[in-house]
Amino acid sequence: MINFRYHLVSIAAIFLALAAGVALGSGPLDNAKNILGDSKSTAAPVDQSDLAGFESAYAKKTGTSLIAGKLKGESVAIFTLPGARPNQVRGVKSAMRSGGATVTGEVSLTSKLLDSASRQFAEGVTQQAAKGVQGVATTGDSYLQVGSALGRAYFAKKTTKVDASASTISAAFAEGKLISVAAKPTQLASIAVIVAGPNPADGNQGQGDIVAQIASGFDTQAMGTVLAGPSASSQDSGFLQVLRASDAASKVSTIDVSDSAAGQLITVLVAAREIDNNAGSFGTSRSADGSMPN
């Protein structure tokens, strides 16, 4: 079977061919038309939305066989950050299902939670809601503890039913407007997938640091944790750039191409790798471990 890496190269080749066609249209061939008197002839502009649509359709058509069954028997809870694009969130969820996973629910981390001015409030909610709950971190960075408690509400090492402790913690965070639950889960998921937007609000790197700690907290409860974002998120103090530069990078995987259909599919492979405790950085040339897992 022709592998997916070949297909990605094929897509690039097609784009180059299209680009070359545009260049020729305004180069020597265009000059020849001018000589023949067709001076008003111009090359038609390339519709970037058409190219994006082609890439999306091609990736989904050829890539689904690559990810089929990779997450069979696993479950995923999707968390979104402020600024995450709804279409990218939908794409990641769809890819997880195509990989065989059950998507247990969708939760948003609010701007209030990611505001350092709310640190003490978040700490208070965590301490009250998770008091006496086994397995929740009680040492380390306060946002790691927040992530561990919130993770206890949505994740477990294997898929299991939501228990009383999980419900109590989730309700407390929702009541405090630290999270917003779009789809309430009926079971605890084994894998955490966090979908980011391009950059923290107002370029606030502090939000990136908070997310890195929360993601590390999730990882204390889940089998694996992945932070996915668009290419812009791995530069200019974006969420992925900050996490990759932190200690969290040794536990939490990242992929910075969630703004492409191919990237959404590759997120499945990254999540599958996380099950075996193999964290990595994938996507663009800014990713230390290459475009995709081997």
CB-based contact 257:268 (threshold 8 Å): no
Give the 3-state secondary structure of 92-116: HHHHHHHCCCEEEEEEEECCCCCCH
Q: Which element (helix H / strand E) includes 180?
A: strand 179-183
Res 65: pLDDT: 85
Query: What is the model's pLDDT at position 186?
Result: 85
Tens-level pLDDT at each residue, the chain (294 residues): 445 444 444 444 443 343 444 443 444 434 434 433 444 444 445 455 555 555 656 556 666 788 999 999 999 999 999 999 999 999 999 999 999 999 999 999 999 999 999 999 999 999 999 999 999 999 889 999 999 999 999 999 988 999 999 999 999 999 999 999 998 898 999 999 999 998 876 656 689 999 999 999 999 999 999 999 999 999 988 999 999 999 999 999 999 999 999 999 999 999 999 999 899 999 999 999 999 998
55 vs 51, 62, 96, 264, 287, CA distance in Å? 6, 11, 19, 12, 21
pLDDT of residue 60: 60
What does the pLDDT read at residue 294? 83
Q: Domain 71-282 belongs to what topology?
A: Rossmann fold (3.40.50)
Task: Give the model's pLDDT for residue 56.
Answer: 58
9 Cβ neighbours under 8 A, 6+ residues apart: none
This prediction's pTM: 0.81
pLDDT of residue 33: 41
Q: In the chain, where are the structural domains located?
A: 4-46, 71-282
